[in-house]
Structures are given as C-alpha cells and as structure tokens.
Structure 1
Amino acid sequence: MTTKEVIIIGGGLSGIMAARTLIENGITDILIIEKSKSVGGRLATRRIQKGKADHGAQFFTVRSAGLQKDVENWLQSGWIKRWFGNPYPRYTSVNGMNALAQKLAETLPINLNTKVSSIRDGRDGPLEVVLDNGEKIIGEHIIVTAPVPQALTLLSEVRGTELLNTITFAPCFVGMFTFANESIVPAPGHKDEQLPPGVERVVDHHKKGISSTVTVSVYMTGVWSKKRFDLEDDTILGEIQKVAELHLGEGNQLVDAQLKRWKYAEAEEVVRSPYVELGSDKRVMVCGDAFLREKDEAGRTRFESAYLSGISAGERVAEKLKGT
C-alpha cells in the first residue's frame, strides 16, 4: 500500500500550483492523481487534423503580484506571450494553453489515467484515497482540486462538506471548426463583442498563432449551454456551426467540426476563501478556481483564482506539516 505525506486529487492548475508550493517548502513526499491522460484541466488544447485549438481557457489576466512575478519568468522562458488587451494584458501560451500546464508540471510526481472513487476520513488514523481499481493510497493530508460537484461525490464519508453544498457550476459548450481558408475573425483572432445571442466568444487559433490550420473555437454562454445540456452532440454542434459559418468568409468552406462539453465551466457562486478545510481533524482541503482570496477584485472563477487557490492550499498544508 502506497503512503504519501500529501495526496493531491486533480492535475489542473490548482493541483499543479499546490504541488509546486509544497515542494518549494521542502515537502516532497507528494503525489498528484489525475483521471485524464494529461495535466491541465481547463488549460486544454486539442489537436485537430494538422492544426490545434484551445478549447478551455484561452488566455489569462494578472491582478496579483505573485502571478505577475511568475508571468515575467514565463515570458522570459518563452512559454507565454502577450496576446492583446489594455489596460489588462491578455496572456496566452505560445503552443496552446495545455503546453503551459505541461511546463509547470514537468518535474512533479503525477499518476495520470488514475480515477479516484472515494476519500475516507480516518478520524484519528490515516486518510485513505480509494481508486477505481480498489487500490488504496494512504495520505497524511489530502488536497482536492476537482470542481466542487465532483469533489462532493468523493467526499461523502468526510465531515463538513455541507459548507460546499451551495456551490453550483454553469456548463459551457465549445464548437471547434476547421476552415479551408482564412476566417473573417479580426486580428489578433479574438472576438467577444457584437456576437449572436448565446455566444460568449469566438477565437481563430491560426491568427492566435498556435495552429497551422484555420481552426475557430466558438464558446457558448452558460445559460445557452444549460438549456441544451440534454441534447445530442450533433444537434448542439449544428446550432453552434451556424455561428461559425458567419465567420467563414466568402468562398470559404468548413472542413471539420468537433464539440467539447464542459460540465463545470464556471462557478455560479464563489467561495470567499482560497480553500476550505474538512474532516474530523481538518486534514482534507478543497480548493480550486471557485475559491477566491478575500480581497479578490474580479470576484469570479478564472486562471488566476485557480493559481492563487492552489498556492494558498499548498502553503497551508506546508504550515501544518512543519508545525508552524
């Protein structure tokens, strides 16, 4: 049976930053467990034929000194670039947003393609993470970074989860469309104004600089997506395609169309704390982009809230392990 000082559930940005923070504090006996084949969560990039498309977070802004310091290092390393925006620059990864997650996680201990079925509160004893295959991993502390509805299914045997029952998420559908020729999405490849009802943003990844082919992502709002959540993929994609065709350009043609369903895209209610401690002796922590620091100016889920929440959770667990 494997034993770890800290087990982190979820390899998205919060999980990655929690792990990096623990290691910076000398806590190295850790493990990230991620159910997908890659880290990143909503820092997601899909290869489509010869091109690629970001279909989760497209960019991020910076309001905190901590993230600004990291951004300067990432810029210097050539991992990211300033895409557009004033007074708040929008930064994006030069090779797709998932590439940034991969860079941040490349030295971390991670088990991919590993699904957790439950977390057991050991009361005065060890905490147990039970995997789908029946294997158990023992942890002194556990940090859960999955979206709250998913976290609650894992934490049914842990005390204090009623604090999280009010947190709900809106879904988001993203259509990804490959065109034969240039789209009419204006440079630099991002549009979020004067769009049809139900459309949040349109992104041309060729003009963004990450795709060799003309691939356009169309993001639908949470309200639009929620109303259609039970429809078949082909029906949803057909509706989104009508929006995409407005950006084809004269004489252009659609080559490929794909759909991404994000069930937990954005928290409809946020938590005004960067983490919540649960369990009989508070050794289970839940954090993520819906957990905001008290003085957060934006007041909504985003890249930076996930980044800060992960760091805060890592710092708190490090304090406990060091007895400070």
Structure 2
Amino acid sequence: METKEVIIIGGGLSGIMAARTLMKKGVEDILIVEKSRSVGGRLATRRIGEGKADLGAQFFTVRSPELQEDVGKWLEAGWVKRWFGNPYPRYTSPGGMNTLAKQLAVTIPVKLNARVSSIRDGRDGPLEVELENGERILTNHCVVTAPAPQAIQLLTETAQSRVPTISFAPCFVGMFTFDGASRIPSPGHVDEGLPDGVERVVDHNKKGISSTVTVSVYMKGDWSKRNERLEDDAILGEIQEVAESYLEKGSAVTGAQLKRWKYAEAEVVVRTPFVDVGEEGRIILCGDAFLRENDEAGRTRFESAYLSGVSAGDGLAEKLKGI
C-alpha cells in the first residue's frame, strides 16, 4: 500500500499552491490526487472544433503582495500576460488558463483520473485515503480542496461536524464556434450592457488563445440556478441567442457546447484561509471559499484560491516542523 506524508485532494489552484508551498518549505513526500484527466479545476480550457476556449476563470486580478511577487515571475517566464484593465490589470495565460495550472504543477507528483471515495481518520496510525477503484493510500496529513459539499462526503461524522456550511451557486457556460468574425470589440471581453442573467461574453480569438473565432457566454449564478433542471439542449439554446447577437453580418454559429459548473461561486464565504477538521488537525480544508480575514474583495476568485492554498501549505509545514 502506497504511503505519503501529505496527500492533497484536488488539483485546482488551491491544491497546486498548497503543494508548491509545502515543497518550498522542504516537505516533498506529497501527492495530489485529482479526479479529472488534468490539473487546474476551474482553470479549465477546452477545445471546440478548431478553436479553444477558457470555460472557467477568464483572468485574475492582484491585491496581495504574495500573488504580485509570483505574477512578476510568471510574466518573466511568459506564463501569463496582461490582457486588459487600467490601472488594475487583468492577467490571463497566453495558452489558456489550464496551461498556467499545468506549468505551476509541473514539478508536483500528481495522480490523475483518481476519484477519492473516503478518508478514514483514526486516532491511531495514519489516515487512509480510499479511491473509488478500491486503491488505498496511507498518509499522515490530508489537504482537501474540493468544494465543501463534496468534501463533506469524504469525511467521518466527527470531521463532518467541523466543516463550515458553505453553499455554492452554479454557473452555465455556452461555447460557440463562428465561421466568421464576432462583433465583440477588442480585447475580446464584454461584461457591461448585457442581457439579464449574462455575466460576461468572451471572444477567445481576440483574447489570443484561439486560432479561430470561439465565443463563450457565461451566465450568472441566479440564472443558472433557476434553469438547472432544464435539459442541456434547452439551456444551450437560450445561451446561443446571446452568442448570435454578436455575429458579424454573414457569419454563423457552426458548433456549440455547454459546461455546467455546479460549484462555481460560494454564496457565503468563510473568513479564515483554511480549517482543521480531522483528529489532531490532520485533515485541512481549503479552497477559494476560504478567505483571509483581511480580504477586501470578500468573494471567491483566483486570488482567494491562491492565498488559501498558500496559507494551508504554510500552516501544515509549520505543524510538520514542530512534530
């Protein structure tokens, strides 16, 4: 049976940053366990036809000195670029946001396509992380970055009672290919003057990540919640009407896909960057819904996920040094 000092459940930004922080502090016997075929979580990029679209986070902003320092390094390495915004820049990744996640995780041991079914937290001996395929991995510490409604299903009753109550709003994203240009102005992002229920519209060709015209429409949480019982075709049909309003004369929609994000944004955030829920603090919960006490934005976003992961990694590294 495989044994690791630290297992991180979830390969989104929080999990990646927790791992990078631990490794920076000398804790290298770690493993990220990710249910999908790629790291990144909502730093997600999908191919549609000959095009490509970011279907989760489109960009990020910077308020904290920690992220600002890293962004300077990422800019120098070519991992990110300044997309738009003055005086507060919006940063994105030239290859799509998932490319940034992969670059950040390149030195981290990761087990992909591995869904965790339970974490057994006994008082004696290591934790036991069981996968849906029956495989078991022993660990002394576990960092869980999955959204709270998913995380709670993995825990014992005692640990479940310590999980803060966090509800999430969904988000539906329609992705469309055009056979001609769109009317979305450069730099390819619109978030004002939109129809009710629409959060933003993006032309990924003008954004610079797609060789063909690929347009995404991102719906607000309340709209997505009202319509989540509808079939995919019905949802996509309504969203496509928005996309079609941005067609240049003579252009047409040639392809369409829908992405349902079930846990897109926390409706209530937690004002601490991570929470200990296991016996003797051996299971830590973190993620974009766990905000630092001095967080001025007060909402889930790229930076809150980044800072939560860094804080969880710092906290666990200090604990391990004291053992």
Indicate the residue corresponding to 1:124 in structure 2. 124
- Work out whether 1:84 is the aligned partner of 2:84: yes
| Structure 1 residue 163: Cα displacement | 4.1
Distance of 2:245 and 2:300 partners within structure 1: 30
- Work out whether 1:208 is the aligned partner of 2:197: no
Distance of 1:229 and 1:270 partners within structure 2: 22
What letter matches 1:99 in structure 2? T
Indicate the residue corresponding to 1:237 in structure 2. 236
Distance of 1:217 and 1:277 partners within structure 2: 38
Alignment of 1:1-324 (within 5 A): 1-155=1-155, 157=156, 159-323=158-322
- Residue deviations 1:25-46 (CA, integer Å, cap 9, x gap): 1001100000000000000000
Contact 1:9 1:34 in 2 (8 A): yes
What letter matches 2:127 in structure 1? L
Distance of 1:86 and 1:153 partners within structure 2: 43
Structure 1 unaligned spans of 5+? none
Distance of 1:274 and 1:300 partners within structure 2: 12
| Structure 1 residue 280: Cα displacement | 2.0
The aligned length equals 323
Contact 1:121 1:158 in 2 (8 A): no
Distance of 1:165 and 1:19 partners within structure 2: 23
Distance of 1:213 and 1:178 partners within structure 2: 8
Contact 2:182 2:247 in 1 (8 A): yes
Off by >6 Å, runs of 4+ in structure 1: none
Structure 2 counterpart SS, 1:270: coil
What letter matches 1:261 in structure 2? R
Distance of 1:269 and 1:163 partners within structure 2: 16
Distance of 1:200 and 1:50 partners within structure 2: 25
Contact 1:120 1:158 in 2 (8 A): no
| Structure 1 residue 166: Cα displacement | 2.1
Contact 1:158 1:278 in 2 (8 A): no
Distance of 1:313 and 1:99 partners within structure 2: 24
| Structure 1 residue 159: Cα displacement | 2.3
TM-score normalised by the chain length of structure 2? 0.98
Contact 2:163 2:277 in 1 (8 A): no
| Structure 1 residue 158: Cα displacement | 5.1
- Residue deviations 1:65-119 (CA, integer Å, cap 9, x gap): 0000100110011111000112210000010000000000011100000010011
What letter matches 1:269 in structure 2? V
What letter matches 2:50 in structure 1? K
What letter matches 1:143 in structure 2? V
What letter matches 1:82 in structure 2? R
Contact 1:174 1:219 in 2 (8 A): yes
User: What percent identity do the matched residue pairs reach?
Assistant: 71
| Structure 1 residue 136: Cα displacement | 1.1
Structure 2 counterpart SS, 1:164: coil
- Residue deviations 1:42-77 (CA, integer Å, cap 9, x gap): 000001121100000000000000000100110011
What letter matches 2:293 in structure 1? E
TM-score normalised by the chain length of structure 1? 0.98
Distance of 1:166 and 1:320 partners within structure 2: 26
Contact 2:53 2:96 in 1 (8 A): yes
Cα RMSD (Å): 1.0
Structure 2 unaligned spans of 5+? none
